Amino acid sequence: MFHVIPRAEQKQSPNRTILFEGGQYGTPISVFLMDAAPGQGPALHVHPYPETWIIHSGEVEFTVDAQTITGKTGDIIVVDPETPHRFVNTGTSRLEMTCIHASDRVIQSWL
């Protein structure tokens, strides 16, 4: 068995980010395909599971707990469950990044 989700059927936000939640397809992961303009990014939040980011292009500043780090093209960054985090595109071009959630749906608490 397999599933194909055509581009036209993928949930896209006004900022061009796509959300895929795997539960309805029998997979235990969810993914945000980020396509963020400079200055864009979510506010501080936590998840009850780990999150992994793969930066495809651009530059991004992560705040993880009280620490700030910069991610660049090609970096892979992992945050533990229940760790407060946020990020923002600090580059001059769009940020393309995959955010992998170890859950069949996105569970997020804003702080």
How many domains does the chain divide into? 1
Report pLDDT digits (tens) over 2-33. 999 998 889 888 889 999 999 999 999 999 99
Q: Would 51 be classed as within a structural domain?
A: yes
Q: Would 60 be classed as within a structural domain?
A: yes
What is the pLDDT at residue 95? 97
Q: Whole-model pTM?
A: 0.93
Q: CA 17, CA 13: separation in Å to the nearest integer?
A: 5
Q: Would 45 be classed as within a structural domain?
A: yes
What is the pLDDT at residue 11? 81
For tokens 């892979």, what's the residue?
76
Q: Which domain holds residue 95?
A: 14-110
What is the pLDDT at residue 85? 98
Q: Would 92 be classed as within a structural domain?
A: yes
CATH of residue 59? 2.60.120.10
Q: CA 111, CA 54: separation in Å to the nearest integer?
A: 24
Report pLDDT digits (tens) over 35-60. 999 999 999 999 999 999 999 999 99
Q: What is the mean pLDDT of residues 74-83?
A: 98
